[in-house]
Amino acid sequence: GASVDLIPQPTDEEVNLVLRTRSQDEGTLRLYDSSGRLIRTEAFSITQPGKVIPLDVSALAAGVYVLEIAGRLIQETVKVSVY
């Protein structure tokens, strides 16, 4: 299995995406605003369990965003709160 954590939440500068999988994975992160508009796409690669990916959200307006994580082993959608 796989798990996803976002730390800290809410944030106004940077949020750390923690991806835990049992084996290596790669895929794409997609960040959407509250109206469903795609605002950022970023590739990711997991080489060890507990991979931490920092996401800079300092340029985003306050609100709730949706982060879609799409890899071979991990398929998750989580909310990112920005203040």
For residue 62, is pLDDT > 90? yes
- What is the model's pLDDT at position 22? 84
Q: Tell whether pTM > 0.85.
A: yes
φ, ψ for residue 47, nearest 5 deg: -110, -15
Q: How far is CA 45 from CA 6, 28, 31, 37, 67, in A?
A: 17, 9, 17, 24, 16
Residue 14: closest CA among 63, 69, 57? 57
- What is the model's pLDDT at position 44? 95
**Over the stretch 6-54, which tens digit does the pLDDT of each residue have?**
999 999 999 999 998 888 999 999 999 999 999 999 999 998 878 999 9
Quick one: CA dihedral 59, 64, 70, 74, positive or negative?
positive
Task: Report how far residue 73's alpha carbon sits from residue 71's, in angstroms, rounded to the nearest whole number.
Answer: 6
Quick one: CA dihedral 71, 73, 79, 83, positive or negative?
negative
